[in-house]
Amino acid sequence: MKWDWNAVGDFMPAFWHGLLVTLQVLALGSLVSFTLGLVWTLLVRTPLRWVRWPVGVVTEFVRNTPLLVQLFFLFYVLPEWGLTFSALATGVFAVGLHYSTYTMQVYRAGIEAVPAGQWEAATALNLPRRRTWTAVILPQAIRRVVPALGNYVIAMLKDTPILMLITVPEMLQRARLFSQQHFQFTEPITVIGVAFVLISYLASLLLRALERRLVR
């Protein structure tokens, strides 16, 4: 096996572009999954059965089908019904939606872990329902689940290469295109491998710091 530093140099411009796309997907995907996840959790807690059930069915369905199948569905099937989004937008939405069905469970655990006394106190103070949620329950619940949410960010990072299959030019796609053109595989694949380790590690450091600040 030969290692060619020139190939690394040649790959770098493409690599930076790929890194940018990967981070973009990760940031936007996290945002979508955190938001949607919270929406799902709150919806399945409503007393209205005709809201609770459909949301439960949909999220169960999404969680129990492979991300790749969802990705292909959104990218290849939706356009047939006249709904076309860019590859990047499709990718962000697919990752965000898929992971929102996991984060909803994280939020649920957080909400259920808020002591019953807090609910009772809110009732005793005659707080409106809305204030109970926004000022009492959610702040405590979300604090508790930040580490668990962080784990999903890292899992999401490791799932971003799947987007290559719908032509999103993230890191792995860039490495592959470079390899096919220059017939050098070792260098670009190694570079992105190292990049994934570094990003995951930095993200976990960041999360630990955040955890120390939030969970006391």
Partner 1 sequence: MLGGLAALGALGAAGCTRVAAASGKAGGDLLDRLRAQGVVRLGIAGEVPFGYIDKDGRLTGEAPELAKVIFKRLGVGRVQPVPTEFGSLIPGLNSQQFDVVAAGMYVNPERCQQVIFADPDYQMLDSFIVRKGNPLGLHSYRDVVAKKAKFATGTGYAEIQYAVEAGYKEGDILIVPDQVAGLNAVEAGRVDVFAGTALTTREVVRKSAKAEATRPFAPLVKGTPHVDGGAFAFRPAETSLRDAFNGELRKLKKSGELFRILRPFGFTKAEMTGLTAKELCGG
If the CB atoms of residues 1 and 124 are measured against partner 1, the closer one turns out to be 1
- Shortest distance, position 72 Cβ to partner 1, whole Å: 11
Residue 121 and residue 127: Cα distance in Å, rounded? 9
- Shortest distance, position 183 Cβ to partner 1, whole Å: 5
- Shortest distance, position 24 Cβ to partner 1, whole Å: 15
- Side-chain half-sphere exposure of 67, counting CA atoms within 13 A: 24
Residue 101 and residue 33: Cα distance in Å, rounded? 8
If the CB atoms of residues 5 and 183 are measured against partner 1, the closer one turns out to be 183
CA distances from 201 to 157, 172, 182, 195, 206 (A): 11, 19, 30, 10, 9
Q: Decide: helix, strand or coil at residue 91.
A: helix
- Shortest distance, position 177 Cβ to partner 1, whole Å: 6
Other beta carbons within 10 angstroms of residue 210's beta carbon come to 14
- Shortest distance, position 1 Cβ to partner 1, whole Å: 6
If the CB atoms of residues 14 and 153 are measured against partner 1, the closer one turns out to be 14
If the CB atoms of residues 123 and 180 are measured against partner 1, the closer one turns out to be 180
If the CB atoms of residues 72 and 133 are measured against partner 1, the closer one turns out to be 72
Residues 6+ apart with CB under 8 A from 114: 136, 137, 140, 141
Residues 6+ apart with CB under 8 A from 40: 55, 59, 100, 101, 104
If the CB atoms of residues 86 and 123 are measured against partner 1, the closer one turns out to be 86
Other beta carbons within 10 angstroms of residue 116's beta carbon come to 8
- Shortest distance, position 70 Cβ to partner 1, whole Å: 17
Which spans of this chain sit near partner 1 (rule: CB under 8 A)?
1, 14, 17, 76, 79, 84, 86-87, 165, 167, 169, 173, 176-177, 179-181, 183, 185
Nearest to 162 by CA among 154, 150, 171: 171
